Structure 1
Amino acid sequence: MRIQFGLLGLFLSITSHAHALETTPPVLEPLQRQEQAANVSAQFLSRYAYRPVPLDDALSAKIMNHFIKSLDADRMLFMQADIDKFMTENTKVDDAILGEDLRIPFSIFNVYSERLVDRMTYARSLLKQSFDFTVQEDYAVLRDKAPWAQSTTESNELWRKRVKNDWLRLKLAGKTDAAIRDTLDKRYKNILERVYSSNSDDVFQSFMDAYTTSVDPHTDYFGAAASAEFDISMKLSLVGIGAVLQERDGYTTIRELVPGGPAQLSGKLMVGDRIIGVGQGESGALKEVVGTRLSEVVQMIRGTEDSVVRLEILPADAGESDSHRVISLVRDKVSLEKQAAKKTILDVNDSGTRRKIGVITIPAFYEDFEARRNGDEDYKGASRDVAKLLRELKQEEVDGVLIDLRGNGGGSLAEAINLTGLFVGKGPVVQQRNAEGKIEVESYDRPTPLWAGPLGVLINRGSASASEIFAAAIQDYGRGVIVGEPSFGKGSVQTVVNLDRLVRNNKPKLGELKFTVAQFFRVDGGTTQIRGVTADISLPGLSDLKTSGEASFDNALPWTQIKPVKHKVIGDLTSLLQQLQGRHDARVKNEPDFQQFAEDIKELKALRDKQTISLNEQERRKEVAEQARQSKVREQTGGGMVGRDDDGLQANERSLTDDIAIENARKNAKDVLRQEAAAIVADIADLQDGAEKPAAGASKSAMRD
């Protein structure tokens, strides 16, 4: 799974509302350090990757296609003539990289910039007219395989329908024509302005993404900023003020205050406050940041521990001309606990028996590598946090434990091994085979498991890499039941190399390269690659298994197999699976919430698969009315997904209050999959206890240590 790195909850934007729009976008050119970074990356990947891919004409063509797709995935901007011109150089990208000359991708981006300015200018001009919503015509919502426009007239027709659809969505949500014009004009202007704030690093990152993706689905290039975000995501901490920031209307806005952080403890900042200036130290000059890229403002606010940052604030309820205030904050280490493992206890009542099931949600396999290397005994790690939570759950006398790994894209291999040991004890967890064919077995040495009671693992298509190592080991040892969708299928191992160290640069210039060095294998000898982990009991999910997961990549490593490693199966749930499946089927058949959820999934998949939508107002209103009717039925029965009517707005077009309310509603929505997975764990406890059912919290199996 290609991981998108970013500060938790931080919505990065490159929009610059303060920028005066020129008639033509800036022409960007490559920097020497970027050309050197591409060259060094190419030399390294062609020699040391697990499956070396030569940088030749064939790879050059793939890079070109990936780069064009990254810029114009819906084929709404480039013209066919542009593509024809680009293709005359599609076998020259390899020579350009090796020759440290990146003019080809930069010239493509400059054409993209021109087309985007032209199309957004045209879209805004359409807002001066009215649309006829009585005619029968359709708008293609999926255009990734459609032909590019052959002429300006053809492109204008595509964009007329695009704007008409945007208008119709807002009209159906009850907006007036004046409000629609204002909303859409601002939306297209924001898109237009992105071009003017783009820089050469943006272009280079996009090009390197296209290059590394062409080599391997999980090979990535990190510039300095991306590398820093990766480090933060792994150690779950940073030095700053403890505020989640968001760009809104050109202002860097406080979206959330991190509990215990300097900003929250000071009492000087509130959600909705806007930062209009940043100064360093007690007396450093304030630099205006209105319209500045959010990522740049974030870097200005972060710094070294115990240093002072000054912020010029425009209060949330103040107008642009109202008075500002300046505050000083002392930077401190901020713990990002929202992305740490957390627990809850669910009560399961079935057949008159009440069971307490402890649920531990692990968003990622995080680990503070640096702290661990430095010998810090209290370094942050996912398995350490889970061990603490397990001890607490044992004190609370739960009957079983459910590990929720949905959406967990992986992380530290060591943490996955340690986590497995908490439930399995001493023994091999995973095998690795490197490029030379050497196989190493990674084991855990804890003599006894911390939790030996009933166990379930909940996965979905977003569970990848380290998540799959853990789930596979639990399954191979017969230790617990895997519930959910088939996992992602990422069975490869990556490491990160600092390019500056390779060429012995004294200062960071070239960035870092994450590349594949080995492949994972289960203790039973099979790899998790492509096939992933198949659940013992399947639950419905949103994923399209044909277009998501490792199998959707055309250059993924194939599934293969090696010899199993000797391991002692410590549990055998095979005899229980048929009974567990029967109980599950009977329960969900009579569970309104689950049935409504399954029906919602079918409808959402049908909507996702639609190639076109009608631009006829009467037809669309019938669809909206039917959706409203179904939502009312769900509300009356208390089932189904928590959703909302389509207001036609994008996230940054709503008020901050409304946006946060929607986010909170999603968080607080009933999680029917988690509830059913917990019920399955309760079934395990029930079946393992036999006919004699103990009182809640008295399960002997749950108290083993």
Structure 2
Amino acid sequence: MSPFAMVRQAVVFALCVVMALPTLAAEQDRIVPTDNGEQTAQEVAQSLRYSHYEDVSLDQQWSETAWQRMLKMIDPQHAYLLKSDVRQYSDLGSNFSEALENGNLDRLYEFYNLYQKRIENRLQWLLDQLEHTEHFDFEGHDRLATDDEDREWASSPSRLDELWHKRLKNAALQLALSGSPEDSDTRQPGETPEPEIPGNPRQSDDPEQHDDESESGKSEDSLRMMDDQAIISQLEKRYSNQLDRVRQTNSEDVLSVILNAAGSAIDPHTEYFSPSRSESFDIQMKLSLEGIGALLQQDGEYVKISSLVPGGPAEKSGLLKPADRIVAVGQGESGDMTSVVGMRLDEVVDLIRGPKDSTVRLEIIPAKAVDTTQTRIVRITRDTVKLEDQAASSQVIDITRDGERHRIGVIKVPMFYVDFKAEKQGRKDYRSTTRDVHQLIDQLKQKNVEGIVLDLRGNGGGALQEANSMIGLFIDRGPTVQVRDAQGRISLLGDTDRGVAYQGPLAVLVDRLSASASEIFAGAIQDYGRGLVLGNQTFGKGTVQTLDDLDHGELKLTRAKFYRITGASTQLHGVKPDISYPSLVDPDEIGESALPNALPWDTVRPVSYRQYGNPDRYLPPLRQAHQQRTSQDPNFHYLEREAELAHKLREQNNSVSLNIHQRKREMEAQESEQLSLENQRRKALGQEPIDSWADARDGEDDQTPIDQAQLRESANIVLDYAQQLQDSGS
């Protein structure tokens, strides 16, 4: 599956914005289903029942799951709908399948109209509150709960008012601490009307500390970077813009919500694409889209980076990372930023797109941030993605031991690509991953390398045929992957060419973003005993989708599943490394296991295959040598400590303070811990310390040393492995 195809599996048309009173819209304002939409619903129901990989029964249990998925998509934090609303339409938990199969969507649209009015009324409520506000009081002991997953549906509008008073105060407090978007390139988010707050500041164990700050001479005003009138103006503009967007919701938008709820009730990769979304994605698939090369997915009221296109502007810049959340988008070098919190995914994509050589500014919450107040603005120049930028490349790492120099080759494979058109035309010089890697292996052999590391970090997949043929560079014929279809029939794919390009010591370096075809390659190398797998557990994308035309739009449907030659699926579990590295990527945020209703891991019968080696016998001494080296490596030590810190903060915190002094202390305490870790790393490396944690978040400055440390350690492990093989006579 190509990196661009990951966009399709990520698209969810959740219109997550805001809510309110039970008044229904006037009849002329109601959104109603169209004849096309009702016909499409019937087509989708038939496809789900008869064509999906799973044995789908559109029964009452499925209806309840689809109904809950729809509620989760439109109101994930239970912030807009009332308990009575959900109860009033609870019959949809039994009748969702009947509505789709009969093409009778009136009841679903009726519910959505109620939800739509809740949003409009809540936005108007926020604007009314601002109209009567002259001053925000950021004293007191209130906290805003950020763990919204288990919140009950509110029993009355007044209970929701309590929540929204806190949310409004929090939005104002964030602005008070941050200033305008153009004041600084590292700031707190000013664009969070209904903050999901994915990682949170630590709570103080002593609530009385709120008053200590004022007694020390710091007033509330001295902490502000924006005054009350500026805050009110900014919030009024934000909520007014959101209200305008909500009122533009049309029947196609609602149909997309309904049908994607239906698809995601079965698995996260089955989804509906309206004609406009299909056309947009076709542009992306042809690589003619001019943008930043970042694939996005909906994450509650945020849009987050799911992966970066190899060779794209975002990946080259080093400024964006997977799981970063986007809170605002601006055009050009300066000017207003547009809040995208609560905005639909397709609208965010349209804002980020633009002509080649133009600049887009993104305000992001970095993936490693433990609080939404830790945002930054990055500037990226749009460009087209070129094949050369995605092609495999190589380097040599020199290692000195006992006065002797050793050489280990590294081949970076960003994706599995092939020029299908040139191949079909019979051109002998057509480009492909396998051909390019073969040439790089020959070049490295001429440089007398003692082993090779294949770097598949961030490789989201691509052409399956290339993963199969590239395995053939390291084994002499044999099966590589099993594919099981909905009828239980298993197809066996593999390498049919005799001979190998390289027989020496080998390791495959993977991370959480290594997916699909990458997992097939790494799994086969591991199963054959052909080499070591190093790094992090992979994504776990072990399903196969096809795109089916509908009379109105398209349906991406899961039709098959991948299995390793051992019979184990790559679904959900991915490939587990023989030697693991610490990672800042939270598996609860990124990976198949983080997606709703992911298909389970299972097994089929293993196939016969030849074992090329037994790396397992060498793992104890290899792991011991690895631990000894990394315990003395400042970059590895830093990565391990920071991963532990991020995990601890995520586990500990479930609220943020609405007191400006306490909030400031929480922010400073987190930054102090981060800064301390970074300066310990710099000191150990003989580098100058930095004064601010913001200085360590400048793209390559805090990422490249870690990436290079992993690569160099992988080279050391391969050298250890080569020497173990030599000593054992293998």
TM-score between the two structures when normalised by the length of structure 1? 0.73
Partner of residue 188 from structure 1, selected from 224, 232, 239? 239
Residue in structure 2 matched with residue 430 of structure 1 by the alignment: 481
Matched to 1:92, the amino acid is N
Q: Which amino acid aligns with 2:482?
A: Q
Conservation of the 8 A alpha-carbon contact between 1:30 and 1:106: yes
Which residue number corresponds to residue 135 of structure 1? 140
Give distance in 2, aligned partners of 1:315 and 1:600.
30
Q: 5 Å matches for 1:208-219?
A: 208-219=259-270
Counterpart check, 1:496 vs 2:547: yes
Q: Tell me which residue corresponds to 2:390.
A: 340
8 Å CA contact 1:589–1:595 kept in 2: the answer is yes
Tell me, yes or no, if structure 1 residue 176 matches structure 2 residue 181.
no
| Match status 1:199 vs 2:258 | no
> What is the distance in 2 between the residues matched to 1:51 and 1:224?
26
1:558 shift after superposition: 3.9
1:45–1:52 contact (8 Å) kept in structure 2: no
Count of aligned pairs between the two proteins: 600
Question: Over residues 78-106 of structure 1, what are the superposed CA-to-partner deviations in whole Å (9 max), with x where a residue is unaligned?
Answer: 12222112213322221221122223333
Sort the Cα spacing of 1:143 and 1:366 in 2 relative to 1 into closer, same or farther, 3 A: farther
Is the Cα contact below 8 Å between 2:292 and 2:312 reproduced in 1? no
Give 1:287's aligned residue.
none
**Superposed displacement of residue 373, structure 1:** 5.8
What SS does the aligned partner of 1:87 have?
A: coil
Give, in whole Å, the separation in 2 of the partners of 1:448 and 1:297: 50
Change (3 A) 1:300 1:690: closer
Identity, % of aligned pairs? 32
Superimposed CA distance per residue, residues 400-419 of structure 1 (whole angstroms, 9 cap, x where no aligned partner): 44334344443433232123
Pair 243,76 (structure 1): closer, same or farther in 2 beyond 3 Å: closer
Query: Secondary structure of the equivalent of 2:650?
Result: helix
Query: Using the alignment, how far apart are the partners of 1:572 and 1:75 within structure 2?
Result: 53
Q: 1:560 aligns with which of 599, 602, 616?
A: 602
Q: Which amino acid is the alignment partner of residue 681 of structure 1?
A: A
Tell me which amino acid in the other structure corresponds to 2:53.
Answer: Y
| 1:637 and 2:680 are equivalent in the alignment | yes
**Aligned-pair distance for 1:71?**
0.9
Deviation, structure 1 residue 575: 2.6
- Call closer, same or farther: CA 1:144–1:245 in 2, change over 3 Å: closer
1:624 matched to which residue of 2?
667
Counterpart position of 2:328? none
Q: Do structure 1's residue 123 and structure 2's residue 141 form an aligned pair?
A: no
What's the CA shift string for 1:579-628, capped at 9, x where partnerless?
22111111121222222222211222233332222222232222222223
Cα gap change, 1:459 to 1:559, in 2 (>3 Å): same
TM-aligned CA distance change 1:297 to 1:602, over 3 Å: closer
- Deviation string for 1:482-506 (max 9, x for gaps)? 122323333333323223xxxxxxx
Could you give the per-residue CA deviations for residues 215-253 of structure 1, whole angstroms, max 9, x where no partner exists? 223323233344445555555x22x6778899xxxxxxx
Residues 1:468 and 2:468 are matched in the alignment: no
CA deviation profile, 1:48-88 (whole Å, cap 9, x unmatched): 22222122222122111111111111111212222112213
Q: How many angstroms apart in 1 are the aligned matches of 2:105 and 2:470?
A: 45
Query: Greater shift after overlay, 171-180 or 612-621?
Result: 171-180
1:587 matched to 2:629? yes
Q: 2:656 aligns with which of 609, 613, 635?
A: 613
8 Å CA contact 2:452–2:718 kept in 1: the answer is no
Q: Quote the RMSD (CA, aligned, Å).
A: 4.5
Q: Does 1:532 align with 2:582?
A: no
Q: What CA distance in whole angstroms lies between the structure 2 residues aligned with 1:314 and 1:564?
A: 52
Against the structure 1 CA distance between its residues 176 and 515, is the aligned structure 2 distance closer, same or farther, given a 3 Å change threshold? same
User: 1: distance between equivalents of 2:429 and 2:690?
Assistant: 41
Q: Is the 8 A contact 2:479 2:609 kept in 1?
A: yes
Change (3 A) 1:424 1:66: same
Q: 2:114 aligns with which of 86, 111, 115?
A: 111
Amino acid in the other structure paired with 1:436: Q
Is 2:584–2:639's contact at 8 Å kept on the other side of the alignment? Answer: no
State the alpha-carbon separation in 2 of the partners of residues 81 and 357 from structure 1.
66
1:39 aligns with 2:42: yes
- Give runs of aligned pairs for residues 517-528 of structure 1, distance below 5 A: 517-528=559-570
Tell me the residue number matched to 2:51. 48
Matches within 5 A, 1:262-301: 272=332
2:675 paired with 1:670: no
Separation in structure 2 between the aligned mates of residue 622 and residue 156 of structure 1, nearest angstrom: 28
Match of 2:60 among 57, 60, 66: 57
Judged with a 3 Å threshold, the aligned counterparts in structure 2 of structure 1 residues 350 and 179 are, in CA distance, closer, same or farther, namely: farther
1:203-602 aligned at under 5 Å gives the runs 203-228=254-279, 230-231=281-282, 237-238=287-288, 272=332, 335-337=385-387, 340-343=390-393, 345=395, 347=397, 349=399, 351=401, 357-366=408-417, 381-384=432-435, 386-387=437-438, 389-390=440-441, 393=444, 399-499=450-550, 509-543=551-585, 549-551=591-593, 555-602=597-644
> In structure 2, what residue type is equivalent to 1:575?
R
Partner letter of residue 268 of structure 2?
P
Q: Secondary structure at the match of 1:93?
A: helix
Quick check: 1:5–1:229 contact (8 Å CA) kept in 2? no
* 1:186-242 Cα distance to aligned partner (Å, 9 max, x none): 33334333213333333222222211111223323233344445555555x22x677
* Inter-partner Cα distance in structure 2 for 1:665 and 1:345: 22
One-letter amino acid of the structure 2 residue matched with residue 37 of structure 1: T
- Mapped to 2, the partners of 1:367 and 1:494 lie a distance apart of 19
Q: Within 1, Cα distance between the matches of 2:458 and 2:245?
A: 30
Q: CA–CA distance in 2 between the matches of 1:597 and 1:245?
A: 24
Residues 584, 680 of structure 1: 8 Å contact kept:
no
Alignment correspondent of 2:190 = none
- Say whether the 8 Å CA contact 1:14–1:197 is kept in structure 2: no
Q: CA shift at 1:536, angstroms?
A: 0.5
- State the match for 2:715 in structure 1: 681
Larger deviation, residues 93-102 vs 182-191: 182-191
Provide the residue aligned with 1:506 in structure 2: none
Unaligned runs of 5+ in 1: 16-22, 247-255, 261-270, 276-291, 303-310, 317-332, 500-508, 648-660, 694-700
Q: 1:244 to 1:3 in 2, by over 3 A?
A: closer
- For 1:164, the equivalent position in structure 2 comes to 169
Secondary structure in 2 matching 1:581: helix
Unaligned runs of at least 5 residues, structure 2: 17-24, 179-223, 296-308, 314-330, 336-345, 362-382, 684-688
Classify 1:368/1:104 alpha carbon distance in 2 versus 1 (closer, same or farther; 3 Å). farther
1:698 — aligned with what? none
3-state SS in 1 of match to 2:507: strand
Letter in 2 for 1:613: V
Contact 1:529/1:559 (8 A) holds in 2: yes
Contact 2:534/2:580, CA 8 A, preserved across alignment? yes
1:397 shift after superposition: 5.7
- Is 50-59 or 680-689 further displaced after alignment? 680-689
* Counterparts of 1:632 and 1:108, CA distance in 2: 49
Task: State the alpha-carbon separation in 2 of the partners of residues 543 and 172 from structure 1.
Answer: 28
**8 A contact 2:146–2:656 mirrored in 1:** yes
Task: Report the residue type matching 2:603 in the other structure.
Answer: Q
Aligned to 1:696: none
What is the distance in 1 between the residues matched to 2:241 and 2:701?
29
* TM-superposition CA deviations, 1:322-357 (whole Å, max 9, x none): xxxxxxxxxxx9654497245463746464665555
- The 1:79/1:674 distance shift into structure 2, 3 A limit, reads farther
**Residue 150 of structure 1 corresponds to which residue in structure 2?**
155
1:267-292 CA deviation, whole Å, 9 max, x = no partner?
xxxx82899xxxxxxxxxxxxxxxx9
Task: Provide the C-alpha distance between the structure 1 equivalents of 2:442 and 2:490, rounded to a whole number of angstroms.
Answer: 35
